[in-house]
């Protein structure tokens, strides 16, 4: 296994990680930003106000993007397992 192969596998792993985490992180970021603007406009300084909406949006995001996320992870795993003979030998 050459260093180039290790870098390539790591690149694919990081790209897959980025693709899988992006929908959840972006939805939580958007909701946090909207609630933060609402809190700034109304001067409500409650730290737990954004927790419940973020959880609800994350659950909704998982239901919407879940099949795509799972398929992305399955495709990555299948490619990685198929590459094992080439990586070893």
The answer to whether the CB of 73 falls within 8 A of the CB of 20 is: yes
The answer to whether the CB of 39 falls within 8 A of the CB of 46 is: yes
What gap in Å lies between CA 51 and CA 70, rounded to an integer?
26
Longest dimension (CA), the chain: 64
What gap in Å lies between CA 24 and CA 22, rounded to an integer?
6
Per-residue pLDDT of the chain (89 residues; tens, 9 = 90+): 788 989 999 999 999 999 999 999 999 999 999 999 998 899 888 888 888 999 999 999 999 999 999 999 999 999 999 999 988 87
Of 15, 52, 46, 13, the residue nearest 31 (C-alpha): 52
The reported pTM is 0.80
Of 53, 61, 50, 70, the residue nearest 25 (C-alpha): 61
């Amino acid at each position: 296994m050459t260093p180039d192969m290790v870098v390539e596998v790591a690149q694919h792993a990081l790209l897959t990680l980025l693709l899988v985490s992006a929908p959840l992180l972006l939805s939580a970021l958007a909701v946090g930003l909207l609630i933060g603007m609402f809190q700034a406009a109304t001067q409500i300084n409650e730290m737990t106000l954004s927790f419940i909406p973020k959880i609800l949006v994350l659950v909704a995001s998982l239901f919407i993007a879940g099949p795509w996320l799972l398929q992305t992870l399955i495709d990555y795993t299948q490619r990685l397992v198929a590459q094992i003979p080439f990586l070893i030998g």
